């Protein structure tokens, strides 16, 4: 233990370093296994501490009201940890919060990191849990008050000393310590060997927790490279991944188009919490088709949580203004009525577009409901059913002797698959034999359209011109 180690613990207003703040910090610096200095302080977070956090930590708003703000102790913290390796239990959590505090001050905070969770897993395999609580029991460490920074950091110091004392001098200890330092940006249950085993090919990946539940689904042209990028980011999403990911499952597709479609289908099927959190944050408003009591169809904006899974979604937007602008664009483009969502009865007052002669007048009795709905359905076909006939789209496969395919029938993707006879024009029988059913939507049509626009070399064959066998 010739290297100096700064063992750190913090308490916070919540679990998200981007929005929550530090309420208490404690640091103990070890050199040669001996405590050489320490630092502890409550921190005024400049925001209210939630009651649930107060219940857990015992830190309340009155206690931090007279405490220094982080900028007032930032220099003391840096001096305390100077020339040290940053050590913590679930190190990414503490490190991310402290790094964010310095970032808000315009300072770049960067230290080598060591995680006692990862160390304990490495040198004490087979324990039921590697939580600090369980390690305290395992090593029979005396603690006065859990979830206070100084008491928890002292417990972490004891865990760290136990690990070093029982393994120091072993043949592979120093190398293992270097490996753990190198792997500190990975979840505790993964090693760089695990990462090296990931394919460097196009496909999708599923990050799972200890119970094998899916946390996150993504796609990439290079799965291994994308996973490494995930764990090297400094975001709330990365923090969740590092704390909770236990294993990674991959599906190689070779084709970017197949990966795009498969990712969308899998996210819809499993609704992973991290994907769901990102989508709910970014896309809160959906544009859907509704129908009035008189039978007239129209587009309207609904908040995501009010839209049922079986309802076709025509667009997802971050703000209600953007969603309404999109509807207005379609109404003007196809000369549809702009007042159907507002007016309970027809003929009461013409809509705005009728006044400027851009609506055919269903709102003023100048057009029948049947005629209007026919034009409305034509708008849907033109905007969302982008395929004039049944097609098969051929793309790269998982290896050189294979091609992937996407089958389009009746305007939607009906199947995905792979063909081993990659040089020949596929027959309908071959497509049917190698098909994996896929339930295409208007949204998947948009994905296919976007992909084909970017990849003009894609091979599209008409089903009507393919051989039967």
Integer Cα distance of 34 and 32 in angstroms: 5
User: What b/e readout covers 442-462, taking b as 16+ CB neighbours within 10 angstroms?
Assistant: bebbebbeebbeeeeebeeee
3-state secondary structure string across 347-367:
CCCCCHHHHCCCCCCHHHCCC
3-state secondary structure string across 127-173:
CCCCCHHHHHHHCCCCCCCCCCHHHHHHHHHHHHHHHHHHHCCCCCH
- Largest interatomic CA distance in the chain: 91
Q: Which two tokens stand for residue 464?
A: 């009507």
Spell out where 209-331 has E strands: 214-220, 247-252, 285-291, 297-303, 313-317
Sequence-distant (6+) residues with CB within 8 A of 290 are: 297, 298, 299, 300, 341
Q: Could you tell me how many residues make up the chain?
A: 469
The three-state secondary structure class of 246 is coil
Count helices and strands (H / E) in the chain. Answer: 18, 16
Decide if 162 is catalytic.
no
The three-state secondary structure class of 56 is helix
Specify the residue for token string 């020339």. Answer: 83
For residue 210, give the DSSP letter. Answer: T
Integer Cα distance of 225 and 41 in angstroms: 40
Integer Cα distance of 48 and 62 in angstroms: 10
Single out the catalytic residue among 89, 147, 162, 230. 147
Q: How far is CA 313 from CA 16, 192, 300, in A?
A: 31, 41, 10
* Residues 209 and 215: beta-carbon distance below 8 Å: yes
**Given strand 313-317, what is the order of strands in its sheet?**
297-303, 285-291, 313-317
Rg of the chain taking only CA atoms, in angstroms: 29
* Residues 290 and 311: beta-carbon distance below 8 Å: no
Integer Cα distance of 18 and 315 in angstroms: 29
Q: Which residues are catalytic?
A: 147
């Amino acid at each position: 233990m010739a290297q100096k180690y700064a063992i750190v613990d913090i308490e916070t207003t919540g679990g998200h370093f981007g929005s929550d703040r530090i309420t208490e910090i404690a640091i103990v610096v070890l050199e040669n296994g001996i405590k050489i200095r320490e630092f502890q302080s409550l921190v005024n977070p400049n925001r209210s501490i939630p009651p649930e956090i107060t219940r857990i930590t015992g830190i309340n708003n009155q206690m931090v009201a007279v405490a220094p703000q982080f900028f007032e102790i930032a220099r003391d913290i840096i001096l305390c940890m100077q020339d040290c390796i940053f050590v913590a239990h679930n190190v990414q959590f503490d490190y991310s919060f402290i790094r964010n505090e310095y970032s808000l001050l315009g300072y770049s905070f960067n230290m080598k990191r060591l995680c006692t969770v990862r160390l304990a897993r490495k040198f004490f395999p087979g324990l039921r849990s590697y939580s600090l609580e369980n390690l305290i029991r395992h090593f029979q460490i005396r603690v006065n008050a859990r979830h206070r920074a100084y008491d928890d950091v002292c417990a972490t110091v004891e865990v760290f000393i136990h690990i070093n004392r029982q393994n120091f001098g072993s043949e592979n200890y120093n190398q293992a310590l270097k490996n753990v330092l190198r792997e500190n940006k990975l979840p505790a249950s993964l090693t760089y060997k695990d990462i090296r085993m990931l394919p460097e090919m196009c496909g999708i990946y599923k990050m799972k927790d200890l119970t094998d539940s899916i946390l996150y689904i993504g796609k990439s042209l290079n799965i291994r490279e994308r996973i490494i990028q995930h764990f090297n980011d400094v975001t709330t999403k990365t923090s969740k991944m590092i704390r909770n990911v236990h294993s990674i499952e991959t599906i190689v597709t070779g084709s970017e188009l197949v990966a795009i479609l498969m990712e969308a289908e899998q996210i819809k099927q499993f609704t992973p919490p991290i994907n769901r959190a990102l989508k709910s944050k970014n896309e809160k408003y959906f544009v859907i088709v509704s129908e009035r009591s008189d039978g007239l169809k129209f587009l309207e904006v609904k908040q995501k949580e009010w839209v049922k899974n079986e309802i076709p979604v025509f667009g997802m937007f971050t703000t209600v203004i953007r969603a309404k602008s999109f509807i207005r664009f379609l109404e003007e483009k196809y000369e549809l009525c702009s007042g159907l969502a507002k007016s309970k009865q027809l003929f009461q007052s013409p809509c705005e577009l009728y006044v400027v002669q851009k609506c055919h007048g269903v709102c003023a009795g100048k057009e029948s409901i049947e005629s209007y709905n026919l034009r409305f359905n034509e708008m849907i076909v033109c905007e969302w059913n982008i395929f004039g006939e049944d097609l098969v789209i051929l793309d790269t496969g998982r290896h050189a002797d294979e091609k992937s395919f996407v089958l389009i029938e009746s305007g939607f993707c009906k199947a995905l698959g792979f063909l081993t006879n990659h040089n020949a024009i596929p027959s309908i029988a071959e497509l049917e034999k190698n098909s994996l059913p896929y339930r295409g939507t208007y949204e998947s049509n948009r994905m296919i359209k976007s992909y084909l626009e970017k990849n003009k070399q894609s091979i599209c064959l008409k089903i009507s011109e393919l051989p039967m066998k």
